[in-house]
Amino acid sequence: MLGFLAHPALTGESPHRSSGNYGLLDQIAALQWVQRNIAAFGGDRDRVTVVGHSAGGGAVLQLVASPLARGLLHRGICQSGTLDASRPLSEAEAAGAAIATRLGAPAEAPLPALRAAPVAQLIAAAPGGWDAPTDRWVLPISVPEALRTARIDDVPVIIGATADEAEIFALPTMDRDAYREMVRADEPRLERLLALYPADRDEDAVSAARRYMTDRDFVCPTRYFAAQRHGRTWLYRFSLHPRPGSNGGRSRAFHGSELALLFAKPGIPRDEAGMRAGDVMRRYWVRFAATGDPNQPGLPEWPIYRTAAPRHLEIADPIRVDDDFARPGCDVMDEAWHRDR
């Protein structure tokens, strides 16, 4: 709410005719601070790496696409990020105007009332998730459009997803009809997707929904970014199943399950495979931050992703380079990025 609220009155008072991207502007301000001050901490202003997970991963991609961040970051790591966490400014303004109405702000001069409202009241008046507006300034176009038109910064990027992202997401009790309604949002491809992610029985609907959401929201967009981007991009998939009992009983590579291994989180049981995966990820990540290339002696050679010879790093047991990242649904879902957005 406080980072991405747009409103026509906010746009009107902006010299850039923009509103709603304060969260990204905060991150850009932090990167500008790094440029001014990092040398005093022994850092190198020409080797700045931004790392993000989930919504933070989406922000990494938006920074790579933002002209305001050019020259401020030199590598990006996107872990299970959202590819298209944006919407047109007009839509964001309409949503902000609806929030102002719910708060009782006068239509002719809403900003004083909005600025005087308690933070808790603002948040309570706002609906769920927030997307960055494409505002002609901070984020002139969406990340997918920047990819399609080659208007995206040529910094090296590591990008990846877990194999079972949606296992962690709570889903309501769902039958086959409810599942079909979920997939109906992708109407032009509905029947093909239902054939690829079938739920022949009501009791299969939740597991089918999770497979579909994993690919729709994470796995396939991640591959799409790697395939469309002309710059150096390394693609990975984390498919190591957690040690039993270490993650609330979950046994799949769900959204965020790699973080405890990457950061050697205290209190999380790790078997030898998990400890090895965490160590290898840290070595790749740190080498990438230092040099712009994750490869180093003693680790599997991780090739840059090429559509002609697609290879990715499979973080599993064993850790290996593989070529089976894409699932059958990805080719179908890619059509949405090309034609619909």
- Residue 15 inside a domain? The answer is no
CA-closest candidate to residue 53, choices 255, 261, 219, 248: 255
What is residue 240's predicted lDDT score, i.e. its pLDDT? 92
- Residue 56 inside a domain? The answer is no
* Active-site residue, selected from the candidate residues 86, 255, 258, 314: 255
Q: Is 86 helix (H, G, I), strand (E, B) or coil?
A: strand
When divided into structural domains, the chain yields a total of 1
**CATH at residue 251:** 3.40.50.1820
Instruction: Specify whether the CB–CB gap between 259 and 53 falls below 8 A.
Output: yes
Rounded-to-integer distance, Cα 10 and Cα 52, Å: 28
- Residue 86 inside a domain? The answer is no
- Identify any residues that bridge with 133 across adjacent strands, giving them in sequence order: 87
- Residue 29 inside a domain? The answer is no
- Residue 97 inside a domain? The answer is no
- Residue 215 inside a domain? The answer is yes
Q: Which residues constitute the domain of residue 189?
A: 156-339
Tokens 């239902």 sit on residue: 194
Query: What pLDDT, in 10s, does the model give residues 74-88?
Result: 999 999 998 988 999
CB under 8 Å to 248, separation ≥6 — which residues?
A: none
What is residue 54's predicted lDDT score, i.e. its pLDDT? 96
pTM score: 0.93
What is residue 148's predicted lDDT score, i.e. its pLDDT? 86
Rounded-to-integer distance, Cα 56 and Cα 256, Å: 12
Indicate if the pLDDT at residue 336 is higher than 90.
no
CA-closest candidate to residue 263, choices 276, 249, 277, 278: 278
165 is catalytic: yes
* Active-site residue, selected from the candidate residues 93, 165, 167, 314: 165
Report the percentage of the chain scoring pLDDT > 90: 78
Mean pLDDT to the nearest integer, 225-231 = 90
* Active-site residue, selected from the candidate residues 54, 74, 91, 145: 54
Give the HSE-up count for residue 292: Cα atoms under 13 Å, Cβ half-sphere. Answer: 11
More reliable by pLDDT, 269 or 48:
48
Query: What pLDDT, in 10s, does the model give residues 105-135?
Result: 999 999 999 999 999 999 888 867 688 999 9
Mean pLDDT to the nearest integer, 56-67 = 96
What is residue 241's predicted lDDT score, i.e. its pLDDT? 81
CA-closest candidate to residue 315, choices 260, 277, 263, 265: 277
More reliable by pLDDT, 268 or 170:
170
Instruction: Specify whether the CB–CB gap between 294 and 285 falls below 8 A.
Output: yes
What is residue 341's predicted lDDT score, i.e. its pLDDT? 46
User: DSSP states of 227-289 as a string?
Assistant: HH--S-EEEEEE-PPPPTTSSTT--S--TTTTHHHHTT-TT----HHHHHHHHHHHHHHHHHH
- Residue 264 inside a domain? The answer is yes
Structure token pair of residue 49: 């790496």
Rounded-to-integer distance, Cα 302 and Cα 289, Å: 15
- Residue 6 inside a domain? The answer is no
More reliable by pLDDT, 2 or 248:
2
66 is catalytic: no
